[in-house]
Structure 1
Amino acid sequence: MSPTRGLSLSSRVIASNGVVFLLGTAVLAFSPATVSRQPVISELVVLLVGLGIMIVANSFLVRVALTPLDRLVTQLDQVRSNEPLARVSDPGGGLAHRLSLAVNDLLDRIEAGQRQNAVSALAAQEAERSRIAQELHDGVGQSLTAVLLELGALSGPGHAPAEPALARLREGVRASLDEVRSVARHLRPHVLEDLGLRSALAALTNDLFTTGDVLVRRGILPGLPALPDDVELVVFRVAQEALTNVARHARARTVELALSTVGAQLVLVVADDGRGLPPGAAGTGLRGMHERAALIGARLHVGRRDGGGTVVELRVPLERP
């Protein structure tokens, strides 16, 4: 173990200087060199050479002590520009080793705090979605249902002259009621809570593509492993965003949804044969998918599909740290 291992940086520098000066004093004390009352050139040369040797030796010892810290500072400058935060390497011992451990521990705490804040924000967002969905269902939905029942009563016998107008009004209210229910389901997927991820994905594809001419192929592996609630929610939201983009923008004829396990990963794939992503696409939907994937340590890839179209692939580690 190094005798200076437990010393502070200032103590190490002082100790290095002390060793150099001690050695210089010992050399002058035990050497035959003397300095006359009126120094001559040769004596001044000896003193200058001794001073130069001490400076060089002191510089060497200080450099040895501080070089690991210089490397650590350089690494920190690089870490600061990386996203996500990288970890600094271990310089190998001494004060720089302890500093690298402290810095890495601090970075771990920062990332854990950021992840916890993001999870809390996601939970708050989902709670707000749930509240709005419940209000739409219990408030607006029930009001529209009551109006629909009243219109049905008015269209009975004795109201024949008003029947065409009432029929149009009834259809308008029914369409509004369906839209409110659709928005409520989009805001909060109760089927995910009640029946699980597999049924929620099936219901999602039915809601989005029932009325169109898009062919939907689903390949959901039976017997998926039990997943934490946050993982199920992220997988559902990524699939929801990807499928919604296909329904609204892709002009696709076929869309494929696959959910399976590959090794120690859960893999979600949504692929279509539509127009594909425009160059430099970076909308709020894509950013939201990447942010949600990062919350559970998953990797998300969104790109152009071979042969045309878009592919979205989410890989979720089943063994989470």
Structure 2
Amino acid sequence: MTGRYSEDELIARLFAPIAGPAGLGLEDDAALLPASSEPMVATTDMIVAGVHFFADDPPAQIAKKALRVNLSDLAAKGAAPVGFLLSLALPPDWTNDWLAAFATGLAEDAALYGAPLIGGDTASTPGPLTISVTALGRTSRFAPRAGARPGDAIFVSGTIGDAALGLAVRRDPALAARLSPAARDWLLDRYLLPRPRLDLIETVRGGASAAMDVSDGLVGDLAKLCRASRVSALVEAPLVPLSTAAQEAIGLSPSLFETALTGGDDYEILFAADPAYRPPQGVVRIGAIVPGAAAPAILDASKTQMIFGKTSFSHF
């Protein structure tokens, strides 16, 4: 064929093959989900070129990021994915090849995470590429933000700050040049491609009194969890887990520690649980929930409260 796909052609050629049975071949106006005894969980996130990713990032990676940030929200609620809806607003310069690569990346992750496409929409826009995913999941036990209690311990998975430092590396060639190749590549990859913690769904269901994913920065997201639970918190900054690459970057520029704690895009799980809870490997205790309405206090190695220029990423 010549020219770009029509809307019907791009759906039939690129996205219908990704669709699960509930999507009805993407030939209907809605999906039809099977009944279940477990509650349904829904979440949606939008990513925009120039805000959440660089316009020249590989299209397959952009697709994966769009899906994975939503799967991260499901994991933090203790929900296993059922499927997702995709809405694409394409700028004037899109091409068939770009969209085919995007669809390939989406198909790979849909298969990897057991989250088939079940519907969506496409539109044109004069502005930047905009992608919205709505992910659906089911859970036997929903973990809200509002369940933390004084005395609970605070846990976090994985390592914190890699993605924010990856963005700093992307923006600062001088910093990139000073890092070892292994550290630079690790941080850049963590910014480009989140790892949703679906492996922790049972951990969240079994132990968390309150939970959320770390998407806007550990300090700011903990504050959100505390506000919802009507509590405060104490966190020991030296206990926050950092990757070897993050430690290398912070060693070169100590101010980047604040970036790591507040920068966002970690997509790890932050949760509160009974202090007797024993977390699985790769999950560490970093503090405690305390009574009160004050913002969480982040204490440095000398037990002095740290003051931040900002506590999290914000669009506004």
TM above 0.5, one fold? no
- Write 1 or 2 for the structure with the bigger share of helix: 1
Q: Which has the higher strand share?
A: 2
Highest RCO, 1 vs 2 (Cα 8 Å, sep ≥ 6): 2
TM-score by length of 2: 0.25
When the two structures are superposed, what TM-score results if normalisation uses the length of structure 1?
A: 0.24
Larger Rg: 1
